[in-house]
Structure 1
Amino acid sequence: MDKRRTLTESALLLLVSLFVMISQGFAAQQVIYLLTAVFLMGIGFLLPKSVNWILILSTMPLCYWWPDIAYYLPPLLRILSMPTKRFEAATFFVYSATLLLLPLSAYQGIIVMLLAISLYLRQNDRAMTTLGQDFLASTDDHWEKQQQLALQNKQLLDSHETQLALQIAEERNRIARDIHDNVGHLLSRALLQIGALETINQEPVLEEPLAQLKQTVDTGMDHIRLSVHDLHADSLSFAEAFQNLLMIEHLCPVEIQGSLFTDLTDKQHNCLSMVIKEALTNTLKHSQATLLTFHFKTLPAFYRLQIRNNGIITNEQYPPKTGIGLQTIQQRIRLINGQVHIAQTDTHFQLTITIPKEPTK
């Protein structure tokens, strides 16, 4: 509840109660009643809800001993912390019954009215507090859902980018193969035909043009080879691409076990290269590893790659099984019908990746 509002309303009720009491005439003993009421209100404000009932019960015999204390029951009712609305209503009726047994003459009705006002203020305060708590809970829930939506959008975007990268790589490979198979073969045939013409040529005047033509076609063939090399994502073997990835600066020592895969399809080659790069980046950024191990194993029906480091997670905001980097790896492997298993202990962190074998293109 709002403590400032509680204190303000209690103070106003205290002043009204004081005014009602001294309206019958001022006496020095009334100061004692006022100070006693203020003391009881202070205790009631500081005590927890679970023990306020003791204070409520103790005020009734006090009212029979000092009847004028009953004038201050409204502010006391307002400031006491009670667990439920029913408890507040019960206290109101107990205080009202106590007033009827005291010799307060015509002022009993005024005190009961002040008690009713105090009860209304308490229950209004409780309703406002509940509404505020509901608002905060709704705000937190809304913020949490926004964060979840943002994370899902990022994951969707990452998945889309992964698919797009693989599609681009496949299209580049297809174009490279078409150029190699069609244009490259035609130019090779042209070179053979020019060589045949040079062999059977009997005219000296045609020797230089034929040589120039052969040189031009040969230069074009070289350019075609360079273009195909640049386009083809598989222009480097998987072993060469893997060695290039290990040249990351500040990377810990690397141990390679088993034989690197040799019969990967273009899609598998591209995907594994991106996954290994992501794993290297995560190891460098999020662990204190002193050794990184790659275990390659080729089985009859699938390839298995285990990436293991002896480091620990250093970034508390990087949960090992929910990090964006690991989710990206899982999404990429799923795109080639593979599986990713994550294992972590106090001494190591390991990724086990399996992908089915497919006919090479």
Structure 2
Amino acid sequence: MGYFFDCGLLVFYGFLSLFFMPPEAGFLIAFLCCICLICLGYAVKRKWLRLFFDIVFGLLGLVFPEVFLFYPCLFYLLFHEKMPGLAVAGMVLFLCQMPEAWQNRGMFAAAGVFGFLLAFLMERNTRKGQNLEEELRRTQDDSKERNLLLSQKNKALQEKQDYQIYNATLKERNRIAREIHDNVGHVLSRSILMVGAAKTINKEPGMDAMLENLEDSLNHAMNSIRSSVHDLHDEAVNLEEVEKGLVKEFTFCPVEMTFDMTRQVPRNVKYCFISITKEAFANIMKHSNATRVRLILREHPALYQLCVEDNGTGASYDPGKSGIGIVNMKERVNALGGTMQISVDKGFRIFITIPK
């Protein structure tokens, strides 16, 4: 620490006076007072109290002249407190009150002036070093903060780009499914009809088996295309976008939606959650006087979770007399091995969990 290093050097500078005068009790008292002053200057937080101790130490030289030998430490502390006027006053007191009994008074006066200048230069250099260190720390903190913000922005941009790619992939799957359905499906349907007509008007027995095989092949191709189109369409369902669309279409009251699921949600879970959300929103509009709805979809390590709750007070629930909508919800959830809980304590709440 620059503060204690500088003060230690100035204390050592005061000890050099022992080459020119014998050590006495007053010197030991002055040394101990100087050490206490240095520690108080570092530990005390209030500036006025530190200045009070500095002034007391300076006036102590009128009682114990040996205190003058450690005045460079006092000068340093006053410069550290940005009180150069008091430091100059201390220097004048040192020159005016120096004991006449000291031999080589001129040498001690020169040493005091040199100590004054030394304290000023040391404090200024230490302050510059501390300012540079603070500036370096601020620069490093700003750099880390900028890097962190940049990293977060890059992550957000990457996630946005991945989502756009994912969404574009789903749209392309839908387009391909439509193209297959509209073009190839219609051609195969027309071909099947034509084969059926050919079988009807055919009068050659040898052609029956060939037309039968051709019809079976076309029907098999038609079934394969239908299955592929359905798979493409089902895989292209974006659960988050569909749920957002349902929330946007629900104008009965505001909906707060929380979606925290990955994109690898099974197809049957997607359709289950979409159907239950539709039914829950329909029930809220029919049976609830809610003014706020919360829709929560979360994925956990072992299960998928759906929660729809409102703050309505008019809805009631009797497990033995459930409507067709609630029954359909339970059947969908049970088919996936999940559980559904309904509570009406503080509004109507549907809580569903489906294991992975």
Give the alignment partner of residue 59 of structure 1, picking from 57, 60, 69.
57
1:99 alignment counterpart: 94
CA distance in structure 1 between the partners assigned to 2:219 and 2:268 by the alignment: 33
CA distance in structure 2 between the partners assigned to 1:280 and 1:82 by the alignment: 61
The amino acid across from 1:8 in the alignment is: F
Distance change >3 Å, CA 210–CA 42, structure 1 → 2: closer
CA distance in structure 1 between the partners assigned to 2:213 and 2:200 by the alignment: 15
Shift in Å, 1:49:
4.8
Q: Describe the superposition over 1:86-139 as per-residue Cα deviations: whole angstroms up to 9, x where unpaired.
A: x2x223312211122123521111112112111211222222112212211111
The amino acid across from 2:72 in the alignment is: P
Alignment of 1:59-78 (within 5 A): 59-78=57-76
Distance change >3 Å, CA 98–CA 256, structure 1 → 2: farther
TM-score by length of 1: 0.64
Secondary structure of 1:64's match?
coil
Shift in Å, 1:47:
2.4
CA distance in structure 2 between the partners assigned to 1:38 and 1:193 by the alignment: 112
CA distance in structure 2 between the partners assigned to 1:48 and 1:134 by the alignment: 23
Distance change >3 Å, CA 80–CA 255, structure 1 → 2: farther
CA distance in structure 2 between the partners assigned to 1:134 and 1:99 by the alignment: 37
Range with greater deviation from structure 2 (183-192 or 33-42): 33-42
2:316 alignment counterpart: none
Q: Describe the superposition over 1:154-176 as per-residue Cα deviations: whole angstroms up to 9, x where unpaired.
A: 11112212221221111111111
The amino acid across from 2:94 in the alignment is: L
CA distance in structure 2 between the partners assigned to 1:98 and 1:193 by the alignment: 123
In percent, how many aligned pairs have the same letter? 23
Shift in Å, 1:228:
1.0
TM-score by length of 2: 0.65
Alignment of 1:150-165 (within 5 A): 150-165=151-166
2:124 alignment counterpart: 123
2:252 alignment counterpart: none
Shift in Å, 1:75:
2.2
Q: Describe the superposition over 1:233-277 as per-residue Cα deviations: whole angstroms up to 9, x where unpaired.
A: 4888979x99724879xxxx99953339xxxxxxxxxxxxxxx8x
CA distance in structure 1 between the partners assigned to 2:21 and 2:133 by the alignment: 42
- The answer to whether structure 1 residue 143 and structure 2 residue 176 are counterparts is no
Distance change >3 Å, CA 127–CA 172, structure 1 → 2: same
Distance change >3 Å, CA 199–CA 235, structure 1 → 2: farther
1:292 alignment counterpart: 308
Secondary structure of 2:309's match?
strand
The amino acid across from 1:62 in the alignment is: L
Aligned-pair RMSD on alpha carbons?
3.5
Structure 1 gap segments, 5+ residues each:
261-275, 296-346, 349-361
CA distance in structure 1 between the partners assigned to 2:225 and 2:116 by the alignment: 97
Distance change >3 Å, CA 164–CA 235, structure 1 → 2: closer
Distance change >3 Å, CA 36–CA 258, structure 1 → 2: closer
2:173–2:236 Cα contact (<8 Å) kept: no
Secondary structure of 1:202's match?
coil
CA distance in structure 2 between the partners assigned to 1:256 and 1:206 by the alignment: 54
- The answer to whether structure 1 residue 281 and structure 2 residue 305 are counterparts is no
Secondary structure of 2:97's match?
coil
1:10–1:76 Cα contact (<8 Å) kept: no
2:250 alignment counterpart: none
2:170–2:235 Cα contact (<8 Å) kept: no
The amino acid across from 2:211 in the alignment is: L
1:179–1:228 Cα contact (<8 Å) kept: yes
1:46 alignment counterpart: 43
Q: Describe the superposition over 1:179-200 as per-residue Cα deviations: whole angstroms up to 9, x where unpaired.
A: 1111111111111111111111
Q: Describe the superposition over 1:331-353 as per-residue Cα deviations: whole angstroms up to 9, x where unpaired.
A: xxxxxxxxxxxxxxxx99xxxxx
Distance change >3 Å, CA 207–CA 142, structure 1 → 2: same
CA distance in structure 2 between the partners assigned to 1:140 and 1:41 by the alignment: 32
Alignment of 1:283-322 (within 5 A): 292-293=308-309
- The answer to whether structure 1 residue 258 and structure 2 residue 281 are counterparts is yes
Q: Count the aligned residue pairs.
A: 265
CA distance in structure 2 between the partners assigned to 1:132 and 1:209 by the alignment: 93
Shift in Å, 1:210:
0.9
- The answer to whether structure 1 residue 213 and structure 2 residue 218 are counterparts is no
1:35 alignment counterpart: 32
2:5 alignment counterpart: 8
The structure showing larger relative contact order (alpha-carbon pairs under 8 Å, at least 6 residues apart) is: 1
Shift in Å, 1:152:
1.1
Secondary structure of 1:281's match?
strand
The amino acid across from 1:74 in the alignment is: P
CA distance in structure 1 between the partners assigned to 2:129 and 2:271 by the alignment: 62
Shift in Å, 1:212:
0.8
2:80–2:123 Cα contact (<8 Å) kept: no
Shift in Å, 1:30:
2.9
Secondary structure of 2:282's match?
coil
Structure 2 gap segments, 5+ residues each:
100-104, 244-265, 284-294, 312-345, 348-356
1:332 alignment counterpart: none
Shift in Å, 1:203:
0.8
CA distance in structure 1 between the partners assigned to 2:223 and 2:235 by the alignment: 19
Range with greater deviation from structure 2 (113-122 or 199-208): 113-122
